[in-house]
């Protein structure tokens, strides 16, 4: 008994504050607010953040290396596991890149189906973000509201694609199979439900004083810095960066559609929050334009069984729910890519976190991480 | 600017570069030692203004390594690709961290995956690989892992 007592340290650890040594705190890799295995090493002085250092790799599977030994049909499915909340859009980027190399013309019906699925995915991803971010900040109810709507989208996906999260629905040349006969009617009823509920979102969170106080002026990043850090997607558009790939480098039928690029000038967490919430409405707008006019025809172009990309390099960027995803394929003319690089939006967005967080209080870090909408497998790949 | 206009402007500004044909975006090869000067010119020229470095990666060609930089201008919406050939035994190139902050993370990734040394990088450490990683760089073509390798 005495022995144990002797071993107990009686030294009191130094409290943070002026003139006292810095304190190092680990957030993660197992932490509810990081939504995955992100490890942040934070240097604190009192409650003030001096430095945030991300340690990555807890879910690194080297997808790029894996793809080097997979064929052009197979590698697409691995990419669903990168940003699993935009699985469909990841697949889309890869398929577009392969189609660019092979110069495959995708039938219009397939293009419309792809865009519809993209936008449904985007809504589902933003819904999850909205609920999870509110929960991080201590509001539990929005999570259930968000998941109620998101569940509808998952059901629609399940019916047509056969899977709820990692859809693997897109193949080079089109989509794997035609849409389910119920698809149009179910999407329309989802849109109606969403529209009847969207006001609740604003009532519950956006107009809440406590919520606004926690978001406003938190995690400020200027437009120049956002571009310099390579930020894209809603996180960058909150700092007034115009960077929507769908608008400036349109793919598929996006140039024929009417939708607005949402930007805010606040540069803070509230601005990033508002951008994402308003983006859902734009996705709804796109779906409404397409859902009644899905053209008849083939859902898949005729392609060879074994795809061989010509020698060369191909780059395709798309707008995922988190920002710009780039797929860079280097081909030597064989059946597998020589080198593949995925430029993931989360990786660059995370790099700005240190800059954003310096000088703010540790309690605000959760709001910053929440509005960056980090998905860890997307960062680690 | 479209690719043709960009081509004229870039060759006028940087006469020493070697243009590559048949690519989607204007692509040119430079010597590694030229990188800093070329990058500064691309960033600061008023008609170019490449303010967004969206992708830094490396390709292992066994005989040599190639660094690939993708630049974009958020003002003019044009893209350019810059490539530099590195020695496979002692790959070294200047960092771009002081011009584009995003280079910091991307270069750390290339450093650990390909073993490229970025001179003057403020914090060149492992990012994704576990601390104390020993052995070859995983994205090199000669990397072998008897247990975890996926092969068909």
Question: Mind listing the pLDDT tens digit for each residue in A74-86?
Answer: 888 888 888 888 8
Question: If you ran DSSP here, which 8-state letter would residue B23 be given?
Answer: -
Specify whether A227 is located in the same domain as A301: yes
Quickly list H helices, A71-170: 75-78, 87-102, 108-136, 141-161
In chain B, whose CA is at the least distance from the CA of A335? B152
Is A8 inside a domain boundary?
no
Specify whether A49 is located in the same domain as A134: no
The 3-state secondary structure of B103-121, one letter per residue: HHHHHHHHHHHHCCEEECC
**Interface pTM (ipTM) of the complex?**
0.89
Is the predicted pLDDT of residue B122 greater than 80, yes or no? yes
Quote the tokens at residue A138: 């201590």
Specify whether A163 is located in the same domain as A235: yes
Counting residues of chain A whose pLDDT is more than 70, the rounded percentage is: 95
Predicted pLDDT of residue A141? 87
Is A96 inside a domain boundary?
yes
**From B54, B77, B104, residue closest to A351, measured CB to CB:** B104
Could you tell me if A255 lies within 8 Å of chain B, comparing CB atoms? no
Predicted pLDDT of residue A271? 92
Quote the tokens at residue A268: 């803070």
Is the predicted pLDDT of residue B6 greater than 60, yes or no? yes
Predicted pLDDT of residue A327? 92
Predicted pLDDT of residue A119? 92
* Burial of residue A296, with CB atoms counted within 10 A of its CB: 0-12 exposed, 13-18 middle, 19 or more buried: exposed
Average pLDDT of the segment spanning B99-127: 89
In chain A, whose CA is at the least distance from the CA of B129? A57
Average pLDDT of the segment spanning A5-11: 46
Specify whether A162 is located in the same domain as A37: no
Average pLDDT of the segment spanning A329-352: 90
CA-wise closest residue to A54 among A42, A66, A68: A42
Is the predicted pLDDT of residue A39 greater than 60, yes or no? yes
Average pLDDT of the segment spanning A88-111: 91
Q: Which of A35-49, A280-294, B62-76, B131-145 has the lowest mean pLDDT?
A: B131-145
Q: Which of A193-197, A283-287, B20-24 has the lowest mean pLDDT?
A: B20-24
Is A206 inside a domain boundary?
yes
Predicted pLDDT of residue A5? 45
Higher-scoring residue by pLDDT: B47, A260: A260
Is the predicted pLDDT of residue B69 greater than 90, yes or no? yes
Higher-scoring residue by pLDDT: A351, A22: A351
Q: Which chain B residues have a beta carbon less than 8 Å from that of A51?
A: none
Predicted pLDDT of residue A1? 42
CA B139 to chain centre: 15
Is the predicted pLDDT of residue A12 greater than 80, yes or no? no
Shortest Cα distance, chain B CAs vs residue A95, angstroms: 17
- The answer to whether the Cβ–Cβ distance between A312 and B22 falls below 8 Å is yes
Predicted pLDDT of residue A2? 44
Is A213 inside a domain boundary?
yes
Could you tell me if B51 lies within 8 Å of chain A, comparing CB atoms? yes
Is the predicted pLDDT of residue B125 greater than 90, yes or no? no
Interface of A with B in 283-322 (CB under 8 A): 312-315, 317
Average pLDDT of the segment spanning B81-96: 90
- The answer to whether the Cβ–Cβ distance between A328 and B151 falls below 8 Å is no
Is the predicted pLDDT of residue B73 greater than 70, yes or no? yes
Give residue A32's domain range: 15-55
Considering its fold, how many domains does chain B have in total?
1
- Band the pLDDT of A10: cuts 50, 70, 90: very low
Whole-angstrom Cα distance, residue B97 to residue A229? 10
- CATH code of A298's domain: 1.10.645.10
Give residue B53's domain range: 3-151
Q: Which chain B residues have a beta carbon less than 8 Å from that of A341?
A: 55, 57
- The answer to whether the Cβ–Cβ distance between B150 and A343 falls below 8 Å is no
- Band the pLDDT of A342: cuts 50, 70, 90: very high
Pair B66, B58: CB distance under 8 Å: yes
- CATH code of B131's domain: 3.30.460.80
Q: Please, what's the largest Cα pairwise distance for chain A?
A: 84
Predicted pLDDT of residue A14? 53
Average pLDDT of the segment spanning A103-110: 90
- Measured from the Cβ of residue A303, the count of other Cβ atoms closer than 10 Å reads 17
**From B24, B105, B139, residue closest to A351, measured CB to CB:** B105
Pair A75, A340: CB distance under 8 Å: yes
Residues A120-174 have pLDDT tens digits of 999 999 999 998 888 888 888 888 988 888 999 999 999 888 888 888 899 998 8
Strand, helix or coil for residue B119: strand
Average pLDDT of the segment spanning A178-194: 90
Considering its fold, how many domains does chain A have in total?
2
- Band the pLDDT of B106: cuts 50, 70, 90: very high
Give the pairing of strands B79-87 and A48-55.
unpaired
Is the predicted pLDDT of residue A189 greater than 50, yes or no? yes
Residues A195-221 have pLDDT tens digits of 888 888 888 888 888 888 888 888 899
Specify whether A45 is located in the same domain as A70: no
Specify whether A40 is located in the same domain as A176: no
Could you tell me if B112 lies within 8 Å of chain A, comparing CB atoms? no
Predicted pLDDT of residue B150? 67
Specify whether A219 is located in the same domain as A298: yes
Which of A24, A55, A86 delimits the end of a domain? A55
Specify whether A51 is located in the same domain as A144: no
What pTM was estimated for this model as a whole?
0.86
Whole-angstrom Cα distance, residue A203 to residue A279? 17
Predicted pLDDT of residue A46? 82
Task: Please state, rounded to an integer, the average pLDDT across all residues of chain A.
Answer: 87
Is A2 inside a domain boundary?
no
Higher-scoring residue by pLDDT: B1, A56: A56
Mutate to test the interface with B, among A67, A227, A349, A352 (most CBs of B within 10 A): A227
- The answer to whether the Cβ–Cβ distance between A326 and B70 falls below 8 Å is yes
Predicted pLDDT of residue A27? 86
**From A230, A339, A355, residue closest to B53, measured CB to CB:** A230
Handedness of CA B75, B77, B78, B81 (dihedral sign): positive
Predicted pLDDT of residue B152? 60
What b-and-e string marks burial along A45-69, b requiring 16 or more CB atoms within 10 Å of the CB?
Answer: beebbeebebbbbbbbebbbbbbbe
Average pLDDT of the segment spanning A86-109: 90
In chain A, whose CA is at the least distance from the CA of B145? A65
Is A5 inside a domain boundary?
no
Average pLDDT of the segment spanning A332-346: 90
- Band the pLDDT of A7: cuts 50, 70, 90: very low
- The answer to whether the Cβ–Cβ distance between A230 and B52 falls below 8 Å is yes
| Count of CA atoms in the C-beta half-sphere (13 A) of A224 | 3
Mutate to test the interface with B, among A75, A237, A311, A315 (most CBs of B within 10 A): A315
Could you tell me if A66 lies within 8 Å of chain B, comparing CB atoms? yes
Specify whether A34 is located in the same domain as A96: no
Specify whether A325 is located in the same domain as A296: yes
Shortest Cα distance, chain A CAs vs residue B22, angstroms: 9
């Amino acid at each position: 008994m005495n022995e144990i007592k002797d071993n107990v340290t009686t030294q009191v650890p130094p409290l943070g504050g002026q003139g006292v040594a810095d304190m190092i705190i680990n957030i993660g890799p197992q932490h509810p607010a990081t939504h995955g295995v992100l490890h942040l090493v934070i240097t604190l002085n009192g409650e003030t953040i001096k430095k945030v250092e991300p340690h990555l790799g807890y879910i690194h599977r080297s997808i790029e290396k894996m793809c080097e030994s997979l064929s052009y049909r197979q590698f697409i499915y691995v990419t669903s596991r990168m940003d699993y909340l935009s699985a469909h859009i990841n697949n889309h980027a890869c398929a577009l890149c392969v189609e660019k190399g092979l110069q495959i013309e995708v039938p219009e019906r397939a293009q419309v189906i792809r865009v519809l699925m993209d936008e449904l995915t985007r809504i589902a991803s933003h819904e999850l973000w909205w609920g999870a971010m509110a929960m991080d900040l201590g509001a539990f109810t929005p999570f259930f509201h968000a998941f109620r709507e998101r569940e509808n989208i998952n059901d629609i996906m399940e019916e047509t694609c056969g899977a709820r999260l990692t859809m693997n629905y897109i193949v080079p040349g089109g989509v794997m199979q035609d849409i389910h006969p119920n698809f149009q009617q179910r999407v329309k009823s989802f849109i109606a439900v969403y529209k009847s509920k969207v006001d609740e979102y604003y009532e519950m969170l956006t107009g809440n004083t406590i919520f606004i106080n926690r978001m406003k002026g938190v995690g400020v990043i200027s437009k120049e810095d956002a571009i310099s850090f390579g930020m894209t997607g809603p996180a960058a558009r909150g700092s007034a960066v115009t960077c929507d790939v769908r608008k400036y480098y349109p793919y598929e039928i996006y140039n024929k559609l009417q939708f607005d690029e949402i930007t805010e000038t606040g540069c803070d967490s509230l601005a990033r929050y508002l951008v994402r919430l308003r983006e859902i409405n734009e996705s709804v707008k796109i779906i409404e334009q397409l859902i009644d006019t899905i053209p008849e025809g083939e859902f898949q172009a005729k392609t060879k069984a074994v795809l061989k990309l010509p020698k060369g390099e191909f780059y395709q960027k798309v707008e995922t729910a988190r920002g710009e995803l780039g797929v860079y394929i280097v081909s030597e003319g064989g059946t597998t890519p020589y080198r593949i690089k995925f430029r993931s939006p989360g990786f660059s967005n995370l790099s700005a976190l240190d800059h954003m967080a310096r000088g703010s209080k540790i309690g605000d870090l959760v709001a910053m991480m929440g509005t960056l909408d980090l998905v860890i497998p997307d960062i680690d790949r | 600017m479209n690719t043709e206009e960009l081509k004229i402007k870039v060759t006028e500004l940087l006469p020493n570069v070697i243009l590559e044909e048949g690519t989607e975006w204007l692509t040119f090869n430079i010597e590694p030692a030229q990188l800093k000067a070329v990058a500064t010119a691309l960033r600061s020229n008023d008609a170019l203004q490449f303010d967004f470095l969206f992708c830094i990666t490396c390709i292992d060609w066994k005989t040599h390594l190639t660094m690939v930089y993708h630049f974009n201008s958020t003002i003019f919406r044009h893209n350019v690709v810059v490539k530099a050939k590195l020695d496979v035994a002692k790959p070294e190139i200047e960092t771009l961290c002081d011009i584009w902050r995003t280079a910091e993370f991307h270069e750390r990734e290339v450093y650990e995956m390909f073993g490229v040394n970025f001179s003057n990088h403020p914090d060149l450490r492992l990012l994704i690989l576990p601390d104390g990683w020993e052995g070859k760089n995983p994205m090199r073509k000669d990397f072998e892992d008897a247990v975890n390798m996926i092969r068909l």
